Structure 1
Amino acid sequence: MRHINVLLAGLYLIGAAQPTASGAAEVRARAVIIPETKAVFGQVQSRTVVPARARIGGTVREIRISEGSEVKEGQVVAVIVDDKIALELAAAQAKIDALKSQLKNARIELERAQQLLQRGVTAQSRFDQAKTQFDVIVNQMAAAEADKSVIEQRAREGEVLAPATGRVLTVPVTEGTVLLPGEEIARIATGRYYLRLSLPERHAAEIVEGATVTIGQRGLSPTKSGSVETAREGRIAKVYPEIASGRVIADVEVSGIGDYFVNERTLVWIPVGKRKVIAVPTAAVRTRQGIDYIRIAIAQGEQDVPVILGETFSDSEEEPLVEVMTGLRDGDRVILP
């Protein structure tokens, strides 16, 4: 575990091995201060989760995604149909057709009035009236075509688009569902994944931004998560100042966390304090009939002492070390095999 290694790098944990009268190597156990870690479960979260919403009301005709699908920004994820839009389009087209007929007649009347005016057999007011009628119908035609364009745009908005690139988390609707404008079609995780920790309030003082934590592999079982010795490193990116229900919330950034499961839990070992331990090389431990022993030198010679072992760690310049919880004292002469 790297954060333990850093603290141990400058400490004389165990004296240099010295040969005993029998020729075996001998070291002295020394009490040192190491970080105390707490194993908690962190939940995988996405930086941002955005909804894909319906832009019009209607009935869901088609859903083109499912939970877990990857989507690109602007991709059509569902189609909503409002049957009234088809009727409105038909009415708009009928109005345009009627105005086209009126426009054709108005153009003929205007051309006739212009010819009569040139011959001098009609008044200027008659020509002006025909031209005004023609202009009115032209403007009505433009307004009707604009109204039809608005209806066509509403029909196109029945296609629900992905607001950003990401992975679909939930699709709370099915085909045939009736929706109102603005209702949610899908939730899409679009941001970078990170771990969120929820720790007891008593550890608030020991949690700081930038601190290093160790993270197990994916999965809840110890066989899948691994041990603290084989865990990956992460960094506390943010500690939230508000304590809710006696819990401190912190975010941890870690590489290789994946991009599929959200709310997946994994083991995280986080430093919450320091403690004094007595440690010896793992080679000093002998196990007989399920009981661990360490041989020490005493005035009368050598003696095997039963011990209870704790955490195992290592220094980059030393062999693996094991914490001795009971059975040894600071300064005991440990005989290596």
Structure 2
Amino acid sequence: MRYLVFLLVALATLPLRAAELTLTPTEIQEWKAVYGEIETRDRVPARARLGGTIVALDVTEGDRVAAGQILARVQDEKLSFRLRAVDAQIESLNTQIETARTDLSRGESLRERGVVTVQRLDQLRTQVDILEGRIESTRAERRVIEQQVAEGDVLAPETGVVLSVPVSRGSVVTPGEVLADIGGGGAYVRLAVPERHATTLTEGGRIAFGPGSGLEAHEGRLAKVYPRIEGGRVLADIEVPGLEARFVGRRVPVRLPVGMRPALLVPQTALTRTGGLDFVTVTSPDGPVRRTVVPGQEIARDGTVWREILTGLRAGDTVVLP
């Protein structure tokens, strides 16, 4: 009995064997720190359809507009003169046709009594038809001028925000001149990535944002990679849910995945710090040995924080875990 008690006490005083981890290279995502700019998906100019003077300008930079909303009004004084001239022609033709219809009615009455010939009556009818045609042609000309006047209203091409207004009230513009730039279709982040990373960009990939961007809590998606390389850089667009185009052109830091690389990872709890140095305990033929290491970035996996070891360990080492 005494022997059994002695054995139990001896076993209780033996140190428990610590957990161990054999290091093997692990593929981790490599990130490239770049800057992106917030842009609107569409940037459409609102152009003048009529040449003339801007008599009304109802928007300024930053205003929200709806598709079809009147942004400005261009007026051409010559169209007003043409309208008055056409109205005068129509009034004169109306007077002439009233006289012609009266003559035709009188001629029909005289024809019944045999006073007027059929030829003269046909001439009267022809004169009425000619005047009616001239009136309809003049009215059509007036409708064309009215449409030109209506085209003086500059309309918003789509719903969005006014990015720039390069003109002012009283300016003289020509047909096709830009009166305002409208940004619409939502906002996205545009990147200009060095061309050496072009082959690593995959549409649909997840994008993270760096500290100070204000978008750390958001995750973007690489929506489009443009095929043209300009100035040694590739353009790419990132979709970010809920991104607002309040400040178009604002630069934000972006962490861009550019490939995978092997790394040695140990749990954060395996590191100890003494005298400003970091140590990891590994096994050796002579027992546990503390090695000085240089840790790298933190990586969260399955709810555990791991640290990359840059120097001090190699693949195959067995790390003693607490």
Normalised to the residue count of structure 1, the TM-score between the two structures is 0.80
Report the counterpart of residue 264 of structure 1 in structure 2.
250
Conserved? CA contact 1:168–1:186, under 8 Å: yes
Q: Do the aligned partners of residues 134 and 223 (structure 1) sit closer, same or farther apart at CA in structure 2, a change above 3 Å counting?
A: closer
Query: What's the counterpart of residue 308 of structure 2?
Result: 323
* Uncovered stretches (5+) of structure 2, i.e. residues with no partner: 1-13
Does the 8 A contact of 1:166 with 1:191 survive in 2?
yes
Q: Which residues of structure 1 form unaligned runs of 5+?
A: 1-20, 217-221
Residues 5-84 of structure 1 correspond to what in structure 2 (within 5 A)?
26-28=19-21, 30=23, 31-84=25-78
CA distance in 2, matches of 1:77, 1:36: 48
Q: Which secondary structure state, in structure 2, belongs to the residue aligned with residue 314 of structure 1?
A: strand
Change in 2 beyond 3 A, CA 1:25/1:86: farther
TM-score after normalising by structure 2 = 0.84
Given that 2:34 and 2:253 are in contact with CA atoms closer than 8 Å, whether structure 1 keeps it comes out as yes
Distance 1:24 1:265, change over 3 A: farther
Query: 1:61 Cα deviation (Å)?
Result: 1.0
Provide the rounded CA distance (Å) in 2 between the counterparts of 1:223 and 1:43.
Answer: 14
CA 1:313–1:175: 2 relative to 1, 3 Å: same
What residue identity is the alignment partner of 1:324?
I
Shift in alpha-carbon separation, 1:284–1:278, aligned structure 2, 3 A: same
Distance 1:64 1:309 in 2: 60
Partner of residue 283, structure 1: 269
- For the 8 Å contact 2:42–2:183, the answer to whether it is kept is yes
1:213–1:234 contact (8 Å) kept in structure 2:
yes
Taking the aligned partners of 1:66 and 1:286, their CA distance within structure 2 comes to 60
Residues 170-213 of structure 1, C-alpha deviations (whole Å, 9 max, x = no match):
22111111111111122222324333222112222322233332
Which letter maps to 2:259? G
SS of corresponding position for 1:242: strand
Structure 2: distance between partners of 1:71 and 1:24: 71
Contact preservation (8 Å) 1:29, 1:279: no
Residue pair 2:212, 2:253 contacting (<8 A) in 1 also? no
Shift of residue 93, structure 1, vs aligned partner: 0.9
Q: Which has the larger radius of gyration?
A: 2
- 1:259–1:151 CA distance, 2 compared to 1 (3 A): same
Mean CA deviation greater in 76-85 or 137-146:
137-146
Task: In structure 1, give the amino acid aligned to 2:221.
Answer: R
* Alignment correspondent of 1:243: 229
Contact in 2 for aligned 1:285/1:292 (Cα 8 Å) = no
Partner of 1:11: none
Residue 151 of structure 2 is aligned to residue 157 of structure 1: yes
SS, match of residue 26 in structure 2? strand
Indicate if the aligned counterparts of 1:29 and 1:329 stay in contact, CA closer than 8 A: no
Aligned ranges 1:167-178 → 2 under 5 Å = 167-178=161-172
Kindly state the Cα deviation for residue 148 of structure 1 after the two structures are TM-superposed.
1.2
Q: CA RMSD in A?
A: 2.7
Q: From the superposition, tell whether residues 50 and 22 of structure 1 become closer, same or farther in structure 2 (CA, over 3 Å).
A: same
Paired residues, what number? 306
